[in-house]
Structure 1
């Protein structure tokens, strides 16, 4: 169904963010001409071969409801001796929370080149950012930092600082949960952290309204390490669930209760997406698409096609839940009845429109000779059954269980039961949508692709080999990025060898670490790809060190697919 773009963007208050200078003199009386500051840094994103999105937020000092005029300067050197592009008369609009995005839209930059940029408003100059355009033609290699899951209150953003200090990074991929919606009460998520008192969320309540979401984005972007990572390289982003609400799907979310003064889901989603488009360096929705249809592609020379997916808001069927969807008959779980629901082909994660887009993009990439087809994807794709911790820990199991909060204890006991049944431990991941996963694998195989799947959401590092349902073909490999700060099961169960247990339980899992915090550094070359899982030593102290926790290499298989993962 075609969507009237003007009506859709008007509903969210989007559009008109990129081009900016027309009609300035006619509206000049509505300008804020007093003091301003750049309190949230600068950012670039969605690069192509000749342009990028440039972002900042101009904060008026004192009470103001007026726009601020700004100028963008893009230079070939960090000293700005050679300015190659200038955008004048750009408006940081009050109606967009004084955020400003400018899209060069194919104008004037060279492929595969570093540029530096800054904004000037009312005599004040912003911090300097660095961006890089995408390469064209024969390309030796591409270096990507892959991040996910940054809970502000739970720890210092040391991993973002480590990304900012990388000697080389061509782009940063953020796979979602850039912000979290929870409040700052003592029992709220992450508020038991030893540094929570120094990193309180704003606002202190769970965010629901447009003003709430804007304030939460502002709090996150006040962090100097996050600002530094944005300034280091262009970002390519996609939301997961917490940018709206936990375990969101097409028609709602686990953490949205209309009867609890949280209102209509569509209104909350619209507010969340409006704030996201205002505060993130992402291109505005394209013609004919709703704002939640954020899938898009990026071509890195002849080395890689990067396809960013959307698995939350456009087509996802509501998640199944073992408590309600796994019936018990005569005291025994009816796995057959559950499987009939679970494997229903009508259950979708990406949907028909995005599936057709992916098929076309993957096929075109292979035909064009790209070495790799990389999927920027929110949730873990591998088949993962939970380990049986009771068997793993033996006599230590009951004492461990007794120390845990009731809700964690319940999850672990459920995991023990599910492990025995061979059922997946996370129905919010691709494991909850096996038919759609197989459709994706079929399009990979049909195109003869060499896919690498990148995943976030799980707060764990993963190195997985992905096989089709028959188990006959290794279709792809998957590298999962752990959280920047968000707590994983390794934090809840310190000392328990969970990663080893996951690998021992699941043939597709070659490595997992649900305790480490950090990011994945992916280097793509012709003939091989190298994934380095980089961990920070702490998120509870400002001083930290980094180390490469694991390094894996994968090579393509002739005719499509990939070889087995090799630890390097």
Structure 2
């Protein structure tokens, strides 16, 4: 079977043994936080990954350490040829595609193989190797259905906001252990940029970041990405399923916009353009995402005639966030998406011939008024949402801060009778199930244009973490006030950590919300929490008593 290879295309593991192995090697690291490896030859110590599946192909990723000193971010180490193989069986008796990619320090010894010529809706196994006896772990991936194939269902794991210092990535482990998923949708904040002990504060750090300082340079971002790729649960997830990823702000800096970020100081940290450029370079090197010549992650994938997936980049083109209550949130000259991306999204939604239109959306599109929230909860909630501590009029980092873009998009949906649009969102470390009203103030007398499922964080702080209280105690008051002031919000969980499983059939789209028992426990258990669905043609959310079997 033929295949095309471009290094950068422009167009269940035992947790206990893995943790023990990582801990045992920690003292031997050339750079703290990165795994040791054999001194006598190349090694694959950062796992394998696949992403951006197509009907006839998938993107494969790994990172090779050619010599002991060629650690991530070092710029050291010789170029080396890396062979890849794709097989229809895990023992590689039936190899269907193979090739070679050159790894060098120029791309931090990361490699990508964009494999084509595969069969639709098919599981494959892949691995990498190099001279000297180095062989990678085996990964499993899956192609998408043929473009117009009649797909009965598609099922995604959905995650966001995984802060290394806040805990262990148990949600990844539980998703990796499932056998019923087609892919993982990662909605952003795959890494965090802060110096160690800044978020969360030092006494609550579960495991320190590497490097310990705030990441600013290309080497910094490379080391931080590499650190996250040493996590056993992250490696298990990537090896088990293709990951479809978009970025949010912390892949760059907190509350990033096109010209800067809240967590960026030009006087001491250089120009924002330079920082954004190196952050994007490291992201495309270290993530199983097809590299874009435009430096963006907005793109479109398709699952037969059942669903297409429109993936957004809501950091590269947005105007700066405005202050709460300034009135500038309604300025038609301000944009979240940028003109080209909004036109691309509108065109894709209206041109879609699938049953469902899914939008991978890093920040919440549903409007939120914060209602009558007790004073002692204002500060913590504002901290979580990135708002001024003195009030909670609106979250201007979300679509609420760019209301004209939202008005135009929702009007496009309603004016063109585009049904079954579902926004899939992360960012705010809470789980929500929302209708997306055209006019929130008069809802439900006015119509809903779409629906939205927001997943909570993998580890990043939420309300009970900030307050250091038991979950589902103080936050219940704030949640009740928000629901009372927002009749389109059907459910809100401010305290849990976990993940979602989105199941799509022709009749409905259902999100099953799962939570983990303790983010600081590497062996945390997972349990089902709630389920909500939207029936085809309704544009409304309803509760379901059980998760999809």
- The TM-score bracket by the shorter chain reads 0.7 to 0.9
Alignment partner for residue 499 of structure 1, among 470, 473, 479?
A: 479
Alignment partner for residue 297 of structure 2, among 294, 297, 311?
A: 294
Q: What residue in structure 1 maps to residue 200 of structure 2?
A: 190
Structure 2 CA distance for partners of 1:208 and 1:509, relative to 1, 3 Å:
same
Structure 2 CA distance for partners of 1:342 and 1:17, relative to 1, 3 Å:
closer
Q: What residue in structure 2 maps to residue 458 of structure 1?
A: 428
Q: What residue in structure 2 maps to residue 345 of structure 1?
A: 332
The structural deviation recorded for 1:387 is 4.2
The structural deviation recorded for 1:79 is 1.5
Q: Greater CA radius of gyration, 1 or 2?
A: 1
Residue aligned with 2:180, SS:
coil
Give me the whole-angstrom Cα distance separating, in 2, the residues matched to 1:281 and 1:463.
29
Alignment partner for residue 316 of structure 1, among 312, 315, 318?
A: 318
Matched, 1:547 2:527: yes
Alignment partner for residue 92 of structure 1, among 100, 103, 124?
A: 103
Residue aligned with 1:225, SS:
helix
Q: What residue in structure 1 maps to residue 8 of structure 2?
A: 17
Q: What residue in structure 2 maps to residue 475 of structure 1?
A: 449
Q: What residue in structure 1 maps to residue 119 of structure 2?
A: 110
Structure 1: gaps (5+ residues):
1-14, 20-32, 327-337, 391-396
The structural deviation recorded for 1:443 is 2.0
Contact 2:384-2:428 within 8 A present in 1 as well = no
The structural deviation recorded for 1:409 is 13
Residue aligned with 1:167, SS:
coil
Q: What residue in structure 2 maps to residue 306 of structure 1?
A: 309
Residue aligned with 1:349, SS:
coil
Contact 2:435-2:448 within 8 A present in 1 as well = yes
Task: Please identify which structure carries the higher helix content.
Answer: 1
The structural deviation recorded for 1:61 is 2.7
Structure 2: gaps (5+ residues):
1-5, 11-38, 70-75
Q: What residue in structure 2 maps to residue 335 of structure 1?
A: none
Matched, 1:119 2:106: no
Counterpart mapping for 1:168-207 below 5 A: 168-184=180-196, 186=197, 188-192=198-202, 194=204, 196=206, 199-207=207-215
Counterpart mapping for 1:334-483 below 5 A: 338-339=326-327, 341-365=328-352, 368=353, 370-390=354-374, 414-415=390-391, 418=392, 423-424=393-394, 426-445=395-414, 446-469=416-439, 471=443, 472-483=446-457
The structural deviation recorded for 1:266 is 0.4
Counterpart mapping for 1:226-265 below 5 A: 226-259=234-267, 261-265=268-272
Q: What residue in structure 2 maps to residue 267 of structure 1?
A: 274
The structural deviation recorded for 1:82 is 1.0
TM-score w.r.t. the length of structure 2 is: 0.85
Task: Give the RMSD, CA atoms, in angstroms.
Answer: 2.3
Q: What residue in structure 1 maps to residue 505 of structure 2?
A: 525
Which one is further off, 464-473 or 201-210?
464-473
The structural deviation recorded for 1:565 is 2.3
Give me the whole-angstrom Cα distance separating, in 1, the residues matched to 2:540 and 2:194.
42
Give me the whole-angstrom Cα distance separating, in 1, the residues matched to 2:102 and 2:320.
40
Matched, 1:209 2:217: yes
Residue aligned with 2:93, SS:
coil
Matched, 1:282 2:289: yes
Residue aligned with 2:390, SS:
helix
The structural deviation recorded for 1:354 is 0.7
Q: What residue in structure 2 maps to residue 535 of structure 1?
A: 515
Residue aligned with 1:248, SS:
coil
Residue aligned with 1:37, SS:
coil
Give me the whole-angstrom Cα distance separating, in 1, the residues matched to 2:384 and 2:359.
32
The structural deviation recorded for 1:92 is 1.3
Alignment partner for residue 80 of structure 1, among 75, 92, 95?
A: 92
Contact 2:457-2:499 within 8 A present in 1 as well = yes
The structural deviation recorded for 1:17 is 2.7
Deviations 1:393-442 (A, max 9, x none): xxxx66x899x899799969623xx4xxxx32x11011111111111112
Q: What residue in structure 2 maps to residue 44 of structure 1?
A: 50
Contact 1:459-1:514 within 8 A present in 2 as well = yes
Q: What residue in structure 2 maps to residue 8 of structure 1?
A: none
What is the number of equivalent residue pairs in this alignment?
492
Deviations 1:133-162 (A, max 9, x none): 001210100000111000001101111111
Contact 2:61-2:288 within 8 A present in 1 as well = yes
The structural deviation recorded for 1:201 is 0.6
Residue aligned with 1:213, SS:
helix
Matched, 1:219 2:188: no
The structural deviation recorded for 1:502 is 2.3
Give me the whole-angstrom Cα distance separating, in 2, the residues matched to 1:408 and 1:351.
26
The structural deviation recorded for 1:34 is 6.0
Contact 2:386-2:397 within 8 A present in 1 as well = no
Give me the whole-angstrom Cα distance separating, in 2, the residues matched to 1:357 and 1:517.
33
The structural deviation recorded for 1:342 is 1.9
Q: What residue in structure 1 maps to residue 77 of structure 2?
A: 65
Structure 2 CA distance for partners of 1:408 and 1:515, relative to 1, 3 Å:
closer
Give me the whole-angstrom Cα distance separating, in 1, the residues matched to 2:171 and 2:382.
31
Give me the whole-angstrom Cα distance separating, in 2, the residues matched to 1:408 and 1:165.
30
Contact 1:465-1:565 within 8 A present in 2 as well = no
Counterpart mapping for 1:122-133 below 5 A: 122=131, 123-133=133-143
TM-score w.r.t. the length of structure 1 is: 0.83
